[in-house]
Amino acid sequence: MFGRKCTLCGGKLDRRGICTECGLDNNKSEKNYHVNQSSCDNMPMTHVHEDEKKPSYVKKNTQDRQAQKVQKKKKSKRPRIIAFAMLIIIAGMIIFSVVSYLMQTVPFDSDDSYYTDYEYDPYASLDKENPESGDEAEYELSSGTYIVGLHIPAGDYKAVVQYDFDAVQVSDYENGIYLYEYAGQDEENYLDDLRLFDHAILTISSETSVTLKTENAQPLSVNGIANPVIDSYEITDSRIRTAGVDFAAGIYDLELLEGTGAIDLVIYAEDGNEYSYESIYLGEDQSDGKEYKYMVIPENTQITCEEGMRLIMTPSETIESTDYLGFYTRY
């Protein structure tokens, strides 16, 4: 250390290498501080400065590495998705080809016995029959409701209609028979096989009339009662009328006097909620002709008709019961 001088000011250095004049630590600055020296010393005058090359190794920070990993994962999923989609498409094409082949090569039996062998039988659960013996009888019935055993005898009937859409309906709750038959049906009808038992309800809908014929008519066995309603009622406009308010609730025969159109009845249950909705169509060339027999109108029923219609309601002569609402609820 003896004889060394400060590289900055030329002053003396103590034994630790500290300049006693300027205080420079020559131990730390000896390599970096030189007076009148540069990195170009000992280089030719024509030399060219070149940028120091950065080291080839650069340490990547953690975030860059994570971002690259995420990007690699995303890139790695894309081929898998494409491959899966292609697999589904190929599988679908194979299935479609197999189904098409089977449809073309395997004959389809349109006469499948499951469908063609099935025939609806309204009498399948019937456990009784009308007696074979009885009276030969014929009845011409206009549109309306008829109680079997009261208005028409029980028996096995054939119906003769005048129009394809003249309909015969049977509702027999006791024997489980329900029919709605007309000649214009696509399938086979039961107009020539009507088995009518006491208390069944027969409903006719015809522009004119339907003729019922039987060879085993039974004696009338349902005891009817005289209609307690005696006053007729005429409807002359389309306003709403209420049974029990505008006219007496009961059972009426309706006859059209003028006009044509629908007569609508809204029937209410005892709790005041709407229970049933009935419509008939009266007039020239209408489905129910110009009259309708035995229309049951319970208390609070609302009845309306179309504008221009005028009809008269006449109490039916003999009725089954005064339980007018029960006529609808029991079926």
Provide the pLDDT confidence category of residue 75 given band limits of 50, 70 and 90: low
**What is the per-residue pLDDT for 44?**
59
Q: How far is CA 321 from CA 29, 265, 293, 316, in A?
A: 130, 20, 16, 12
Please give the residue that has the higher pLDDT: either 185 or 63.
Answer: 185
Q: What is the mean pLDDT of residues 99-115?
A: 60
Provide the pLDDT confidence category of residue 56 given band limits of 50, 70 and 90: very low
Regarding the domain delimited by 225-329, which CATH topology (the fold level of the hierarchy) does it fall under? Jelly Rolls (2.60.120)
Q: What are phi and psi of 7, to 5 degrees?
A: -70, -10
Do residues 33 and 56 lie in contact, with contact meaning Cβ atoms separated by under 8 Å? no
Non-local CB neighbours of 310 within 8 Å, separated by 6+ positions: 234, 235, 236, 256, 257, 258, 259
Question: Which of 301, 281, 302, 299 minimizes the C-alpha distance to 291?
Answer: 281
Provide the pLDDT confidence category of residue 18 given band limits of 50, 70 and 90: confident
Provide the pLDDT confidence category of residue 259 given band limits of 50, 70 and 90: very high
DSSP, collapsed to helix, strand or coil, labels residue 65 as: helix
DSSP, collapsed to helix, strand or coil, labels residue 108 as: coil
- The DSSP symbol for 134 reads -
Structure tokens of 172? 């027999």
Q: What is the mean pLDDT of residues 278-296?
A: 96
Provide the pLDDT confidence category of residue 118 given band limits of 50, 70 and 90: low
Q: How far apart are CA 259 and CA 314, in angstroms?
A: 18
Provide the residue type at 60 as one letter: K
pTM over 0.75: no
Residue 97 has pLDDT above 90, yes or no: no
Do residues 210 and 287 lie in contact, with contact meaning Cβ atoms separated by under 8 Å? no
Structure tokens of 33? 């501080």
Structure tokens of 203? 């409903």
pLDDT more than 70, % of the chain? 77
Consecutive H or E run containing 324:
helix 324-329
Handedness of CA 138, 144, 147, 151 (dihedral sign): negative
State the average pLDDT for the chain: 84
Provide the pLDDT confidence category of residue 98 given band limits of 50, 70 and 90: confident
**What is the per-residue pLDDT for 69?**
54
**What is the per-residue pLDDT for 47?**
56
Residue 68 has pLDDT above 60, yes or no: no
Judged by average pLDDT, the poorest of 111-115, 195-199, 258-262 is: 111-115
Q: Where are the domains of the chain?
A: 1-47, 135-217, 225-329
